[in-house]
Amino acid sequence: MYKSKLFNSVIVQTLAKMGHTDQIAIGDAGLPIPENVERIDLALTSGVPSFMQVLETVTESMQIEKVLLAEEILEHNPEINKKILAQIKQIEESQQNIIDIEYVTHEMLKQQTSECKAVIRTGECSPYANIILQSGVIF
């Protein structure tokens, strides 16, 4: 049996196929997902699973060099933004590298999802709880 905290086989397979600079998105229940991008739908009901639960689990299995966030999160969901930044700090400490954080308009973030290998849909129902993770290298 596969030994990791991440059980979802589609997410594991997607991460395993990713190379340097490839991207994957984690979104709230309302984030539109382009037709050409794989949808990994984890949403069960409002808030389940939460955005942060999925982010914390996925980031344990991924080398990250950059994240994209919607600048609107700063005003409309500062609590989630604070939690994301704390998670990024933990990742930086465990990976021993700096992660570039870029804020873009929500419209630009939605457009960028079309370049992602997949979008993971959570049950999160708070505004702008979306992130794009860019893959780094482990060497």
Q: Does the predicted TM-score (pTM) go above 0.95?
A: yes
**Does the pLDDT of residue 2 top 80, yes or no?**
no
111 is a domain residue: yes
Confidence band for 27, pLDDT divided at 50, 70 and 90: very high
CB 99 within 8 A of CB 91: yes
More confident residue, 76 or 139: 76
Which residue of the set 17, 20, 39, 82 is catalytic? 20
8 is a domain residue: no
20 is catalytic: yes
CB 113 within 8 A of CB 31: yes
Instruction: Please report, in range form, the residues annotated as the binding site.
Output: 28, 106, 128-130
Looking at residue 45, which CATH number applies to its domain? 3.40.1650.10
Instruction: Please report, in range form, the residues annotated as the binding site for substrate.
Output: 28, 106, 128-130
Query: How far is the C-alpha of 133 from the C-alpha of 26, rounded, in Å?
Result: 8
Q: pLDDT for 71-130, tens place per residue?
A: 999 999 999 999 999 999 999 999 899 999 999 999 999 999 999 999 999 999 999 999
Query: How far is the C-alpha of 77 from the C-alpha of 74, rounded, in Å?
Result: 6
CA atoms within 13 A on the CB side of 88: 21
